[in-house]
């Protein structure tokens, strides 16, 4: 097991020996004798060997599971709020899964378990939830993000063998979100030299994935992490905001939702003399081809949809207007969405 990243807030480990690595992680970081909240994804995970291994590792560390939670994709606040009376003496939250499972754990820490440490066993890259200070969930009208620098998981473990078994179609979907994080944060007015460097590193690994047909699992891991490090500084723009609306209103998976308007937005930047690099164009064309062929559902957005999308973006994601590298207003929502509808 090796450490990919370390700073004052978090450590990210990558290895291929699940039981040994996890046991070492508990030892090195002194995670023994704690009450544990265990959060997993789909119910069928409990039938797998890795679930049994996790339970064994927790027991070996003399920890006690006081609550097990199954978190669904795109969790809602009503589901998180059910745990407001959760055992506050729990010292460790363990989230095993992709972005939604980790966001559930981050939300519990933010609202109810402020003094707990958090361990993420990250099994599906794409959301970059392990490095971003956001907990994403649905409220009563939109897919929102709550911010706190202290909810980044203290420890993350990523297993090479688990990642290498992810089907290519899921890697493609992960890349939709990774690429959107990368290019939106790169062009954002909030971007910095540091965030653009992270974006450029992510792009290198995205290109490696495309060229190698997804053969190296470390490339998807690093592409995701670097994109997340870029995003947490530069933040996202219009495509993500509309994507949040599509996920909330029409249940289009978030990793696909940003793709509906990403190329149109990049075209708009180009018309305003903000020119993406050849590498960005290469990745955009590759992902757009995959998206159009296999993943896109045809939208027919009403005037009310456009109005709601704009108003909710303004309410919950005002930074997309502040950080846009070009002037962006309500008419631009109509313009870009109308352009999409005309061509589909």
DSSP string for 77-138: HHHHHTTTTS-TT--EEEEEESHHHHHHHHHHHHHT-TT-EEEEEE-S-SS-TTT-SEEEEE
Same domain, 217 and 148: no
Can you give the CATH number for the domain in which 86 is found?
3.40.50.1970
> How far is 154 from 130, CA to CA, in rounded Å?
9
**pLDDT, tens only, 268-281:** 999 999 999 999 99
Average pLDDT over residues 128-140: 96
The pLDDT of residue 7: 81
Q: Which domain holds residue 76?
A: 2-164
Residues contacting 170, CB < 8 A, separation 6+:
124
One domain for residues 15 and 121: yes
Looking at the fold, whether 185 and 321 belong to one and the same domain comes out as yes
pLDDT of residue 46: 76
The rounded distance, in Å, linking the Cα atoms of 68 and 41 is: 11
Domain termination site, one of 164, 199, 217: 164
Cα–Cα distance for residue pair 244/230, rounded to 1 Å: 19
- Judged against a pLDDT cut of 80, whether residue 44 lies above it is answered with no
The pLDDT value recorded for residue 5 is 85
Number of domains into which the chain is organized? 2
Beta carbons within 8 Å of 152's beta carbon, 6+ residues apart? 9, 10, 106, 130, 131, 132, 133
Alpha helices (H) along 148-216 = 160-164, 168-187, 193-212
Q: Which residue has the higher pLDDT, 46 or 128?
A: 128
pLDDT, averaged across the chain: 94
**pLDDT above 70 as % of the chain:** 99
Q: Check whether residue 160 and residue 173 sit in a common domain.
A: no
Based on the domain organization, do 111 and 233 belong to the same domain? no
pTM assigned to the model: 0.96
How far is 240 from 255, CA to CA, in rounded Å? 10
Domain end (from 164, 187, 214): 164
Dihedral of CA atoms 326, 332, 335, 336 in degrees, nearest 10, equals 70
- Where residue 324 sits, what CATH number does that domain have? 1.20.1090.10
Same domain? 174 vs 293: yes
Quote the CA–CA distance of 336 and 317 in Å, as a whole number.
18
pLDDT tens column, 306-335: 999 999 999 999 999 999 999 999 999 999
Nearest Cα residue to 171 out of 129, 216, 229, 125? 125
The dihedral through the CA atoms of 94, 98, 101, 102 has a sign that is positive
Nearby residues of 110 by Cβ (< 8 Å), 6 or more positions away = 135, 146, 148, 151
* Whether 326 and 308 share a structural domain: yes
DSSP designation for 72 = P
Alpha-carbon distance of 63 to 237, in angstroms, equals 42
| Residues 202 and 64 placed together within one structural domain of the fold | no
Nearest residue to 178 via CA among 287, 71, 336, 268: 287
Q: Tell me: do 42 and 116 sit in the same domain.
A: yes
Instruction: Give the model's pLDDT for residue 270.
Output: 96
User: 121 and 224 in one domain?
Assistant: no
Strands 143-147 and 134-138: antiparallel
Give the Å distances, CA to CA, from 308 to 30, 96, 318. Answer: 48, 34, 14
Same domain, 301 and 247: yes
Based on the fold, state whether residues 59 and 148 are members of the same structural domain: yes
Say whether 270 sits in a helix, a strand or coil: helix
Average pLDDT of span 28-39: 94
CA pseudo-torsion sign 223, 226, 231, 232: positive
Q: Last residue of a domain, which of 143, 164, 185?
A: 164
């Amino acid at each position: 097991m090796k450490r990919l990243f370390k700073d004052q807030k978090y450590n990210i480990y990558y290895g291929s020996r699940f039981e040994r690595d996890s046991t070492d992680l508990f030892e090195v970081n002194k995670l023994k004798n704690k009450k544990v909240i265990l959060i997993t994804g789909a119910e069928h995970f409990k039938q797998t060997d890795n679930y049994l291994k996790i339970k064994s590792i927790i027991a070996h560390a003399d920890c006690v599971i006081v609550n097990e939670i199954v978190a669904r994709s795109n969790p809602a606040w009503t589901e998180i709020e059910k745990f407001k009376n959760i055992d506050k003496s729990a010292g460790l939250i363990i989230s095993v899964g992709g972005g939604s499972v980790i966001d559930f754990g981050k939300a519990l820490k933010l609202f109810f378990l402020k003094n707990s440490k958090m361990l993420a066993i990250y099994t599906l890259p794409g959301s970059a939830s392990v490095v971003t200070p956001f907990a994403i969930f649905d409220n009563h009208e939109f897919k929102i993000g709550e911010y706190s620098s202290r909810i980044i998981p203290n420890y993350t473990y990523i297993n090479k063998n688990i990642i290498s078994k992810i089907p290519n179609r899921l890697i493609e979907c992960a890349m939709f979100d990774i690429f959107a994080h990368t290019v939106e944060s790169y062009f954002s007015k909030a971007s910095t030299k540091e965030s653009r460097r992270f974006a450029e590193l992510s792009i290198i690994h995205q290109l490696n994935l495309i060229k190698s047909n997804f053969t190296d699992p470390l490339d998807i891991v690093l592409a995701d992490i670097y994109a997340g490090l870029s995003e947490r500084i530069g933040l996202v723009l219009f495509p993500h905001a509309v994507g949040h609306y599509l996920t909330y209103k029409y249940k289009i998976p978030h990793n696909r939702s940003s793709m509906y308007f990403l190329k149109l937005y990049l075209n708009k930047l180009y018309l305003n003399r903000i020119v993406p690099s050849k590498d960005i164009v290469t990745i955009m064309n590759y992902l757009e081809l995959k998206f159009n062929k296999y993943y896109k559902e045809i939208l027919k957005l009403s005037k009310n949809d456009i109005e709601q999308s704009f108003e909710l973006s303004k309410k919950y994601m005002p930074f997309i207007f502040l950080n846009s590298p070009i002037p962006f207003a309500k008419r631009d929502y109509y313009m870009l969405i109308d352009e999409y509808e005309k061509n589909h």
